[in-house]
């Protein structure tokens, strides 16, 4: 799909602030794709669609995720995770996205998972490190992700785990698996 048409359709579905976030993630993802050897157009597509379901009502997200059997195993966790697999379903059904890497990057951008491909890692990290993110520690995550993709993945997944543990919130098992796998990747690259 033409990137401008895709942007227009995503913009129609999201509040203005969320749409601006999506555009910043897309710019960050394209830069990372060039740096780390992924297809920039796949990175742009996945980034533009990563939050396409974010503004949907919780009940609609649940039904959409259930329609596919909850492949990412998110329904037993906080509803903030549900938009990722729902977005992958929308990307496939409504936008005709058939590339498994693009769909997986959308599906797992909230939880991460072990064995993430390069594009999945880029979307996960770009979502947390885009320039508009200003939470405590965001700049450190940006700096880490400039050094290496696996280092950025480790830093971002560790940040998520610390944040959720600090709130005494459930941590999705795939987030823990993502963190552990990222440590293994760093060890192999050392």
pLDDT at 22 over 60: yes
Q: Please give the residue range of the domain that contains residue 12.
A: 3-189
Confidence of residue 71 (pLDDT cuts 50, 70, 90): confident
pLDDT of residue 2: 87
- The CATH number of residue 162's host domain is 1.10.3210.10
Q: How would DSSP label each residue in the chain?
A: --HHHHHHHHHHHS-HHHHHHHHHHHHHHHHHHHHHT--HHHHHHHHHHTTTTTTS-HHHHHHHHHHTT-TT--TTS-GGGTHHHHHHHHHHHHH----HHHHHHHHTTTT--TT--HHHHHHHHHHHHSTT--STTHHHHHHHHHH-HHHHHHHHHHHHHHHHHHTT----HHHHHHHHHHHHHHHHH-
Cα-only R_g, the chain: 15
pLDDT, one tens digit per residue, over 7-19 is 999 999 999 999 9
pLDDT, one tens digit per residue, over 34-59 is 999 999 999 999 999 999 999 999 99
Count of domains observed in the chain: 1
pLDDT of residue 190: 47
Q: Is the pTM of this model over 0.85?
A: yes
pLDDT at 189 over 60: no
């Amino acid at each position: 799909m033409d990137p401008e048409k895709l942007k227009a359709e995503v913009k129609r579905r999201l509040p203005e602030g969320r749409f601006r976030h999506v555009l910043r993630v897309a710019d960050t993802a394209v830069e990372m794709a060039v740096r780390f050897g992924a297809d920039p157009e796949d990175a742009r597509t996945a980034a533009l669609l990563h939050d396409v379901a974010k503004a949907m009502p919780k009940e609609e997200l649940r039904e959409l995720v259930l329609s596919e059997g909850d492949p990412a195993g998110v329904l037993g966790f906080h509803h903030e995770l549900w938009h990722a697999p729902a977005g992958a379903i929308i990307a496939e059904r409504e936008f005709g996205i058939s590339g498994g890497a693009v769909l997986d990057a959308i599906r797992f951008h909230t939880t991460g998972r072990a064995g993430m491909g390069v594009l999945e890692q880029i979307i996960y990290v770009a979502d947390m490190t885009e320039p508009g993110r200003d939470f405590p520690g965001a700049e450190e995550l940006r700096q880490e992700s400039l050094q290496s993709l696996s280092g950025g993945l480790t830093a971002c997944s560790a940040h998520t785990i610390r944040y959720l543990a600090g709130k005494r919130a459930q941590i999705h098992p795939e987030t823990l698996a993502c963190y552990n796998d990222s440590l293994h990747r760093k060890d192999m690259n050392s």
